[in-house]
């Protein structure tokens, strides 16, 4: 694995052509393969990546669509990139991969990777890493904020206060549902689901029930005697006071909560979605809320985000946040570092080398198949 020097000249704005020509990089004796970032990260992470080798990153917060990539990569040495660092924002499909024929590793700065076509990656021998664990606790914290926000109508209350509509403390003002002592239903008991399950047990005296394909062993819970109870999905929805969605998105979970399931929930229940847009039918949710069926909802993810279904925007009893569950200073920095280091370690592994750091967290089934020479 070569030691690359930084190529700051590669850090162009998306609208400027790259000043690095293939012949220039060959003449310098350096490999001509930069790594690409789809979005800017943090300065110290950029500096480290640039110290490892040629790096290109967008100058602004541009969201990269295929057209942008096509413009950037056409006739550019950037098309020789072997490494790409992505986020849940970008769609990584066969069309994009065809623009990057030398790509070997994608490092996703997220635990979820439904934006990446893994089949297209496998067909091209591209390995895919992601950043599980590091965001678990921060996301579970935020899940509690969503449950509390939905139950107590915090979003709507704040909007009314800011609009000058709060005139006095009133006995019947801003009434919501209790969280303490209630039944929390978690759909998707992976790392984040389990971290969430520990919180209400310890702090809110809640009973926790969950659904996922296979029941979990009770160990790992603060009090195994009160371990969360596994239920079939429909029973969980019927019996929970507050439901939190944390399942991965895919064909099997598209509109998992459709209108009939939403209507099967208690009229006094709340729904929080921290999974992915598309797990809930947002339009149906807006209808159900409009009918006064649920007490409230809290959504951090949306079908077609950053667009939000206009019918949801009309609803008062839903708290809407911009896919920010993992967004603490410390966690987003840690995710960026992990994604950057895994990008470099992954490239090294693909070349048959090894790195000193922790093992790369490959997406299941998307690890390197063979060391390339
Ligand atoms: C993830 O990691 O998948 C989250 O949605 C990003 O916050």
Which tens digit of pLDDT belongs to each residue from 279-329?
A: 999 999 999 999 999 999 999 999 999 999 999 999 999 999 999 999 999
Which tens digit of pLDDT belongs to each residue from 221-275?
A: 656 777 899 999 999 999 999 999 999 999 999 999 999 999 999 999 999 999 9
Which tens digit of pLDDT belongs to each residue from 27-47?
A: 344 444 899 999 999 999 999
Q: Which of 326, 336, 338 to mutate to test the pocket of ligand 1 (most atoms within 8 A of CB)?
A: 326
Instruction: Report how far ligand 1's centroid is from the alpha carbon of 248 (Å).
Output: 10
Residue 12 pLDDT: 39
Cross-strand partners of 86: 108
pTM (2 decimals)?
0.89
Torsion from C-alpha of 195, 198, 204, 208, nearest 10 degrees: 100
Atom of ligand 1 nearest to the CA of 109: 2
Cross-strand partners of 257: 280
Annotated catalytic residue within 235, 259, 283, 305: 305
Which tens digit of pLDDT belongs to each residue from 55-99?
A: 999 987 777 789 999 999 999 999 999 999 999 999 999 999 999
Contact 36, 106 (CB under 8 A): no
Residue 145 pLDDT: 98
Nearest alpha carbon to residue 91 among 120, 66, 58: 66
- Is any atom of ligand 1 closer than 6 Å to the C-beta of 110? yes
Instruction: Report how far ligand 1's centroid is from the alpha carbon of 339 (Å).
Output: 13
Residue nearest to atom 3 of ligand 1 (CA): 112
Alpha-carbon distance of 360 to 105, in angstroms, equals: 11
Q: Does the annotation count 276 as an active-site position? A: yes
What is the arithmetic mean of pLDDT over 317-343? Answer: 98
What is the arithmetic mean of pLDDT over 111-125? Answer: 98
Q: Does the annotation count 293 as an active-site position? A: no
DSSP one-letter string for 142-161: HHHHHHHHHHHTHHHHHHHH
Which tens digit of pLDDT belongs to each residue from 120-166?
A: 999 999 999 999 999 999 999 999 999 999 999 999 999 999 999 99
Instruction: Report how far ligand 1's centroid is from the alpha carbon of 218 (Å).
Output: 26
Residue nearest to atom 6 of ligand 1 (CA): 110
Instruction: Report how far ligand 1's centroid is from the alpha carbon of 225 (Å).
Output: 31
């Amino acid at each position: 694995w070569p030691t690359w020097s930084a190529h700051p000249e590669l850090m162009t704005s998306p609208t400027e052509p790259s000043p690095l020509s293939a012949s220039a990089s060959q003449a310098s004796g350096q490999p001509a393969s930069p790594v690409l970032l789809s979005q800017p990260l943090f300065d110290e992470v950029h500096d480290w990546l640039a110290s490892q080798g040629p790096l290109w990153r967008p100058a602004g917060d541009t969201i990269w669509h295929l057209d942008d990539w096509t413009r950037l990569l056409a006739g550019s040495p950037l098309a020789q990139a072997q490494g790409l660092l992505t986020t849940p924002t970008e769609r990584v499909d066969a069309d994009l991969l065809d623009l990057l024929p030398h790509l070997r590793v994608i490092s996703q700065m997220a635990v979820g990777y439904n934006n990446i076509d893994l089949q297209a990656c496998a067909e091209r021998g591209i390995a895919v890493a992601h950043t599980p664990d590091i965001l678990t606790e921060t996301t579970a914290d935020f899940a509690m904020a969503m449950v509390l926000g939905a139950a107590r109508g915090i979003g709507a209350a704040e909007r009314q206060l800011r609009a000058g509509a709060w005139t006095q403390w009133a006995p019947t003002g801003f009434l919501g549902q209790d969280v303490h002592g209630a039944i929390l239903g978690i759909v998707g008991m992976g790392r984040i689901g389990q971290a969430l399950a520990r919180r209400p047990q310890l702090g809110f005296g809640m009973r926790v029930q969950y659904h996922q394909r296979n029941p979990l062993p009770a160990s790992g819970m603060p009090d195994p005697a009160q371990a969360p109870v596994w239920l079939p999905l429909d029973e969980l929805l019927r019996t929970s006071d507050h439901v939190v969605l944390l399942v991965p998105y895919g064909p099997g979970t598209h509109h998992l909560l459709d209108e009939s399931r939403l209507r099967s929930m208690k009229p006094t229940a709340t729904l929080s979605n921290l999974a992915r847009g598309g797990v809930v039918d947002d339009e149906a949710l807006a209808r159900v809320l409009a009918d006064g069926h649920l007490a409230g909802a809290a959504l951090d993810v949306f079908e077609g985000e950053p667009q939000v279904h206009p019918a949801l925007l009309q609803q008062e009893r839903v708290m809407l946040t911009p896919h920010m569950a993992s967004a603490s200073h410390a966690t987003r920095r840690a995710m960026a570092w992990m994604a950057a280091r895994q990008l470099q370690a992954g490239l090294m592994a693909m070349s048959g080398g090894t790195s000193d750091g922790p093992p790369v967290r490959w997406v299941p089934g998307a690890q390197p198949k063979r060391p390339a020479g």
